[in-house]
């Protein structure tokens, strides 16, 4: 079973929280809040997205590389992962 | 006028697009899509949040540092900015 | 006086420390140290480079934006800064 | 054979190049070059370190996770990797 199915509830809860933070950001823009509060809210959303990505990457590495017995499948799953990791390493 | 008020419509449009991407991510989790598609969707949301942050930081630096004639106000606005920038530079 | 001249000794000391860390990394590779130690050493060098960049960016923003009385010069100095910041915000 | 031994020459060449860039940075500071040139040089060193880290992480994932037949060893090697990756995902 794919890790994103195994962890479905946990991941959906994270996505819902981020949506709540984004709605809060939308309200702050609508109510013309101070820009430093807006900056902090964007930084909080960014942190939450990074947290979500980290959980999914860890799950992917555990399920598709550590617990996968077939070496060829491990190799193809790693290629998927490297595409995402490269975006972080520029 | 604060830059986040000047650019209100533009920023709200960005936030709405990110909310749409997040809803898409929520559906992908619900429909148990392949984890590589989920990884790509999270990376897209992360890119959009970084783009939003960059626009707000640029606006802040232009309005509160370049076009601000009072040196003391420029100094206090820079302190606000540095708190956010440090999160990027770890 | 440019901030990189004002802070010359401090910045050179940081560069020297990073060169020391890199020489250490070179020795680890030569002596075929465990790859996790090598990974940690590279992460330490990366952290030091980020620290150096942060100090120079802060100096640039203080000297060329906060303490610069001419608005046009502030605008051109900001363009220099934004090129570097964008590399961080992808 | 550890990947950092397999790729020893290639990795040492990268480290030497970075040391050259750092010496160049040291000279720029000594000769009081323009701060935008200094910023660009630091950004170049940072890019080179990120490139080095990416090569070592990829090597680690290939050798110790894809081509490692023992699941327990794959699990412990992943823990080593996650410590480094988390620094990127804040």
- With beta carbons less than 8 A apart as the criterion, state whether D42 and C52 touch: yes
User: For C55, how many CA atoms within 13 A lie in the half-sphere containing its CB?
Assistant: 20
User: What ipTM, to 2 d.p.?
Assistant: 0.87
- Taking CB atoms and an 8 Å limit, are A84 and B43 in contact across chains? yes
Mutation site, C6, C21, C26, C39, interface D, largest D CB count within 10 A: C39
DSSP classification of residue B1: -
Cα distances (Å, whole numbers) of residue C29 to D4, D7, D87: 7, 9, 22
Give me the pLDDT at residue C90, please: 62
> What's the residue count for chain D?
90
Measured CA angle at B38 (ends B33, B44), to 5 deg: 145
| CATH, domain range C8-88 | 1.20.58.1000
Task: Please check the confidence at residue D1 and state whether its pLDDT lies above 80.
Answer: no
> What's the residue count for chain B?
90
Classify A7-88 by CATH class. mainly alpha
- Taking CB atoms and an 8 Å limit, are A54 and D78 in contact across chains? no
Chain A nearest CA to C89, separation (Å): 10
pLDDT in tens, C10-24: 999 999 999 999 999
- Quote the CATH superfamily of domain B3-88: Metal-sensitive repressor, helix protomer (1.20.58.1000)
Give me the pLDDT at residue D90, please: 62
Angstrom distance (rounded) from CA A68 to CA C83: 43
Q: What's the N-to-C CA distance of chain D in angstroms? A: 32
- Taking CB atoms and an 8 Å limit, are C81 and D2 in contact across chains? no
Chain B residues close to A21, C-beta within 8 Å:
none
Nearest C-alpha neighbor of D32 from the set C69, C54, C4: C4
The residue that leads in pLDDT, D87 or D4, is: D4
Angstrom distance (rounded) from CA C11 to CA D29: 8
Residue of B nearest to A46 (CA): B49
Angstrom distance (rounded) from CA C47 to CA A54: 20
Cα distances (Å, whole numbers) of residue D78 to A8, C73, D65, D82: 22, 50, 7, 6
Cα distances (Å, whole numbers) of residue B27 to A11, A15, B23: 12, 10, 6
Q: Residue D79: pLDDT band by 50, 70, 90 thresholds?
A: very high
- Taking CB atoms and an 8 Å limit, are C30 and D50 in contact across chains? no
- With beta carbons less than 8 A apart as the criterion, state whether B11 and A56 touch: no
pLDDT in tens, B2-39: 888 889 999 999 999 999 999 999 999 999 999 889 99
Task: Please check the confidence at residue B88 and state whether its pLDDT lies above 90.
Answer: no
Angstrom distance (rounded) from CA B78 to CA B6: 20
Angstrom distance (rounded) from CA B51 to CA B71: 29
Judging by beta carbons within 10 Å of its beta carbon (0-12, 13-18, 19+), is residue A19 exposed, middle or buried? Answer: middle
- Taking CB atoms and an 8 Å limit, are A8 and B45 in contact across chains? no
Chain D residues close to B89, C-beta within 8 Å:
none
Task: Please check the confidence at residue D7 and state whether its pLDDT lies above 80.
Answer: yes
Q: Which of B5, B45, B47 is closest, CB to CB, to A32? A: B5
Angstrom distance (rounded) from CA D86 to CA D90: 7
Average pLDDT, integer, range A68-74: 96
Give me the pLDDT at residue A90, please: 61
Chain A residues close to B5, C-beta within 8 Å:
32
Interface of A with B (CB under 8 A): 2-5, 8, 11-12, 15-16, 18-19, 22-23, 25-26, 29-30, 32-36, 38-40, 42-43, 45-47, 49-50, 52-53, 56-57, 59-60, 64, 80-81, 83-84, 87
Tokens matching residue C63: 């000297």
Angstrom distance (rounded) from CA C20 to CA A3: 42
Average pLDDT, integer, range C68-85: 93
Which residue shows structure tokens 């060329």?
A: C64
Interface of C with D (CB under 8 A): 2-5, 8, 11-12, 15-16, 18-19, 22-23, 25-26, 29-30, 32-36, 38-40, 42-43, 45-47, 49-50, 52-53, 56-57, 59-60, 64, 80-81, 83-84, 87
Sign of the C-alpha dihedral, residues A22, A26, A31, A36? positive
**Helical H segments across chain D, by residue range:** 3-6, 8-30, 35-61, 71-88
Average pLDDT, integer, range C29-55: 94
Angstrom distance (rounded) from CA D6 to CA D9: 8
Sign of the C-alpha dihedral, residues B60, B65, B68, B71? positive
Give me the pLDDT at residue A79, please: 92
Chain D residues close to B87, C-beta within 8 Å:
90
Cα distances (Å, whole numbers) of residue A89 to A50, C58, D42: 14, 23, 16
Cα distances (Å, whole numbers) of residue B71 to C1, C63, C64, C75: 18, 11, 12, 15
- With beta carbons less than 8 A apart as the criterion, state whether C89 and C57 touch: no
The residue that leads in pLDDT, D1 or D29, is: D29
pLDDT in tens, D17-62: 999 999 999 999 999 999 889 999 999 999 999 999 999 999 999 9
Give me the pLDDT at residue D22, please: 98
């Amino acid at each position: 079973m794919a890790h994103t199915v195994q962890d479905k509830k946990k991941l959906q809860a994270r996505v819902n929280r981020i949506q709540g933070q984004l709605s809060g950001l939308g309200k702050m823009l609508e109510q013309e809040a101070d820009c430093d509060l807006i900056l902090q809210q964007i930084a909080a959303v960014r942190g939450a997205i990074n947290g979500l990505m980290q959980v999914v990457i860890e799950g992917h590495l555990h399920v598709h590389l550590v617990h996968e017995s077939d070496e060829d499948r491990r190799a193809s799953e790693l290629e998927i992962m490297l595409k995402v990791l490269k975006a972080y390493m520029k």
